[in-house]
Every structure is written in C-alpha cells, then in structure tokens.
Amino acid sequence: DAKTTQPNSMESNEEEPVHLPCNHSTISGTDYIHWYRQLPSQGPEYVIHGLTSNVNNRMASLAIAEDRKSSTLILHRATLRDAAVYYCILFSRARDDKIIFGKGTRLHILP
Amino acid sequence: DSGVTQTPKHLITATGQRVTLRCSPRSGDLSVYWYQQSLDQGLQFLIQYYNGEERAKGNILERFSAQQFPDLHSELNLSSLELGDSALYFCASSVGALRETQYFGPGTRLLVL
C-alpha cells in the first residue's frame, strides 16, 4: 500500500512554475521525504529530499508542511525537458522497511 | 550518466527459463537496490543489499534471488520465468544503508515469450 498520495497527472505551461503536491498523512518522525523523476525511457533520477525544513537545490525546491503530512515539489520555471513522472517517496531509516514508489504524477509541459 | 551500469540492456527468453541480470554500483557505494517496473504495477522495490548482506526485502518472488559480491556488484537471478515477469528491471545504488540518495542504472528490459 502506498504511503504517499499524488495526483495521477498534471499540466503546466512552459516557463511557468509548477507545484506538484504529495500527501503522506502516516509519515513517521524519522521518515525522509524524497522526490525522484523518471524521464521517458530512462531510470528514475533523484530530484530533492528533506526531513522537516524546506529545501532548495539547482533542480527544484521542496516545501514541507509544518505537520509534515504533505509536501510540494516546486519547479520554478518548467521546460519541456521537465516532462516526466514525478515520484514522492518516504524513505524510512528502519532496516527491513519496504520502499514504496507509488504511481507518481505524470507532468505534461505545454509549449 | 548516473555511474551505475547494468547488463544486458535487453534480454529475450522463453517461459520456464532462467536469466541473470548484473549491476555494478557507483564507485564507493555500498548499497544496491533492485526494482521491477511493469506497465500495470509501476516501480516495485524488490530487495536491498548493503556491503554484501541483505538489508531489506520488498515484493520479491520466491523464484527470484539476488546477491551482492565482495566487489560490490550484484546479480538478480530470475528463474522459472513466466510471461508476467516481462518488465524493466532497474538497479540503484547509494553510499550507505540508510536509503540516502539513490542513483539508478539504465535498466534491463526483459521480454519473456
């Protein structure tokens, strides 16, 4: 069973910001929130991760709700190359814990 | 290029056969993860090895097995293959055991006829 809930698909215009939501209401205190994306015909690639505070890197920003039950991946200026499936995953540090990717959000970028 | 290599890129075989998929992690990474991606199931975690030892198991069938060797490369063995085993198999690696950033290989596409 997926620990995270994401919309199946989203659309955005090129060069505009994109906000990809993720709900994880059963998150535990030690779970890290990771985002990966999978471009067509490629393996998933790491985007960003965080625990409690908002995070920024060259690819994106991650906004984490104060109660940590949801998060939002922000692409500041979407390009056509950002069209991909975006996965929000909770990574537990506990041994033997399964990794659950879920179905992700398919992001379409309109030129 | 993530630094993770997988061989072969493509594999076509028949039902009932056995195949071995190989993965070499990034230099310095001690953990290897195996995932299966089929059209209707999405990305499914199979198993994780850390420094030669099994650390976590996901939805891995009994017909499947894996191991990580002293040089840290890993092999995924799939036996008694069925049509439903046709999928993309990805390997990923990370530095430690605690599910830090994972770097994925390009995958092996398996077709069972």
Q: Is the pLDDT of residue A82 over 80?
A: yes
Provide the token pair at B67.
Answer: 């191991």
User: Rounded to the nearest 5 degrees, what angle is found at the Cα of B25, between the Cα atoms of B14 and B15?
Assistant: 5
Residue A79 has a pLDDT of 95
Q: Which one of A99, A101, A103, A106 would you mutate to disrupt binding with B, by most B Cβ within 10 Å of its Cβ?
A: A99
Q: Binning pLDDT at 50, 70 and 90, where does residue A96 land?
A: low
Between CA B51 and CA A56 the distance in angstroms is 31
CA distance A25 to chain B (A): 20
Q: Shortest CB distance from B43 goes to which of A46, A93, A101?
A: A101
Q: Which residue of B has its CA nearest to A94?
A: B98
Q: Binning pLDDT at 50, 70 and 90, where does residue A95 land?
A: low
Segment B3-56, tens digit of pLDDT? 999 999 999 999 999 999 999 999 999 999 999 999 877 889 999 999 999 998
Segment A42-77, tens digit of pLDDT? 999 999 999 999 999 999 999 999 999 999 999 999
Q: Is the dihedral of CA A94, A99, B105, B101 positive or negative?
A: negative
* B67 touches A at CB < 8 Å: no
Residue B97 has a pLDDT of 82
Q: Is the pLDDT of residue A35 over 90?
A: yes
Between CA B73 and CA B51 the distance in angstroms is 10
* B65 touches A at CB < 8 Å: no
Q: Is B86 in contact with B19 (CB distance < 8 Å)? A: no
